[in-house]
Amino acid sequence: MSLRAEHLTLRYDDRVVVDGLSVRLPAGRITAIVGPNACGKSTLLRGLGRLIAPAAGRVLLEETDVRDLPARELARRLGMLPQTPVAPEGITVADLVERGRSPHQGWFGGRTAADDAAVARAMTATGVLELAARPVDELSGGQRQRVWIAMILAQDTPTLLLDEPTTYLDMAHAVEVLDLLVDRNLGEGTTVAVVLHDLDLAARYADHLVALRDGAVVAEGTPAEVVTEATVERVFGIPARVVPDPVSGTPLVVPVGRHRVAPVPPGFASEADLREVVDEPHPLAVAKVGDRVDPTAAEFVAAAPLVVLASGRTDGGMDVSPRGDAAGFVRVLDDGRRLALPERPGNRRIDTLRNVVERPGTGLLFLVPGVTHVLRVSGRARVVDDPDVLGLWEDPPPLALVVDVEDCFVHCSRALTRAGLWTDATPATEVPGTKALAEAAVAAREDT
């Protein structure tokens, strides 16, 4: 069932926590709501579950305003686990899980076979069946959380809302709880919304992410769309690296604090660093050197651990979109008339790269840390899965970008010289200077 908020405003007394927010939980998907402390994510979840009446706006469950549904009816369609439910002293696991069935029972509580079956199913799914007769307050934190989840699974609703179900759990139990939610989502097509503290688990387990800050949606979309270095910094106010999760391929956030930061390889840092390096259109100071990547230019390319998209914006700025890898990851083919770039998981900018390469006036900028001149290559690009091309690398990538070189330029970059980050770095190897590049280009032109 789809659940959405329209211009929802929620407040406690006079304090507005969520202000005119609109958000949609896709039906049959897992949505994670993330954000810093006190950003209103729990409040939003409470608003969606009708635990707080909206000050303005509305919440729609399948196009019905939740306020128009009787409480019991809503509880049959929407299950919610608050952050700190209370287990009454001495209550047994089976008794607690059975209470999840109360929306399906009348006030005088006729227990039916369907109730029993749902309880048994929920307890089996969460692995708490053998704890049935144990008092809940004797269980470990992980077991207790499984019992609570069993309770809302027994409620048997097509939509589930959970407020930080993993907060007090160690990582094994946190992963287990999220796996349970995925089981339910896949098994019954349940729509799940979960407030999570752990951005990495959110990115791994959610189909859809909603990032909040100060009660407003900052970003919304797939984890790959939402979890970028720029968004993380905007939402949490801390610089971070985003790398592919080696287990799931989803984005993994590595925050950068003030201490305990290992010296980074020269110049090769985050996107934010690169913006500092290349934050304006390059002064096009040096002439075109050739229509292909000649051997001297290929030397430069081989030394470059970074390729940057440099497309001038109309406002005079520059769109920077870095792809980086070990030096020499770009292959020069066909005597310098073609270049091949590997496309690996977690670095999904290949389409942007292609589009930009084909736009006039832009190109691939090859950067060598510590070296303030850059090589720009423009041409036409296409994405290939040709095994011959993919086999150029020792660990073949799933896809590659092949650029038919049209022009090749050398630039002296004032932008780079202004960035301490760049000029402080020492080049890993000797690279050809501007003069050598220009002379080689002239020589190459005369040859043909």
Partner 1 sequence: MTETRSAAPPDGTAALAALQEARARSRRRVGLAGAGLAAAVVLVFLATVSLGDYPIPPGDLLASLVGAGPARVEFVVTRLRLPRALAGLAVGAALGLAGALFQRLLRNPLASPDVIGVGAGASAAAVTAFTLFGLSGFGVSGAAVVGAAATAALIVVLARRGSGGGGLHGVRFVLIGVGIGSALLAVVSWLMTTASLTTAQQTLLWLTGSLNGVTWAGVTPLLVAVAVLVPLALVAARALPRLELGDEAAAALGLPVERARLALLAVGVLLVASAVAVAGPVSFVALVSGPVAVRLAGPGRASLPHAALVGAVLVLVADLVARHLLGEVPLPVGVVTGVVGAPYLLWLLARARTRGAS
Binding site for partner 1 (CB under 8 A): 12-13, 46, 49-51, 71-76, 78-82, 84-92, 94-96, 99-100, 102-103, 107-109, 116-117, 119-121, 123-124, 127, 129-130, 132-133, 135, 152, 155
Specify the residue, 96 or 240, whose C-beta has the smaller distance to partner 1: 96
User: Residue 96 Cβ, how far from partner 1 at the closest point, in Å?
Assistant: 8
Specify the residue, 115 or 294, whose C-beta has the smaller distance to partner 1: 115
Specify the residue, 109 or 283, whose C-beta has the smaller distance to partner 1: 109
Specify the residue, 130 or 395, whose C-beta has the smaller distance to partner 1: 130
User: Residue 37 Cβ, how far from partner 1 at the closest point, in Å?
Assistant: 18
Distance (Å) of CA 313 to CA 73, 154, 361: 54, 55, 11
Distance (Å) of CA 343 to CA 64, 232, 361, 382: 45, 24, 24, 12
> What is the C-alpha separation between 61 and 191, in angstroms, rounded?
11
Specify the residue, 166 or 372, whose C-beta has the smaller distance to partner 1: 166
> What is the C-alpha separation between 368 and 396, in angstroms, rounded?
24
User: Residue 93 Cβ, how far from partner 1 at the closest point, in Å?
Assistant: 8
User: Residue 197 Cβ, how far from partner 1 at the closest point, in Å?
Assistant: 18
Specify the residue, 1 or 264, whose C-beta has the smaller distance to partner 1: 1
User: Residue 62 Cβ, how far from partner 1 at the closest point, in Å?
Assistant: 17
Which tokens go with 157? 């609703």
DSSP-derived 3-state class of residue 342: strand
- Running DSSP on this structure, what letter comes out for residue 8? E
Longest dimension (CA), the chain: 97
- In sequence order, which residues have a C-beta less than 8 Å from that of residue 245 and are 6 or more positions away? 200, 203, 204, 251, 252, 346
- Tokens 């934010």, residue located: 272
Specify the residue, 118 or 402, whose C-beta has the smaller distance to partner 1: 118
User: Residue 3 Cβ, how far from partner 1 at the closest point, in Å?
Assistant: 14
> What is the C-alpha separation between 355 and 226, in angstroms, rounded?
22
User: Residue 2 Cβ, how far from partner 1 at the closest point, in Å?
Assistant: 19
> What is the C-alpha separation between 391 and 382, in angstroms, rounded?
17
> What is the C-alpha separation between 1 and 292, in angstroms, rounded?
56
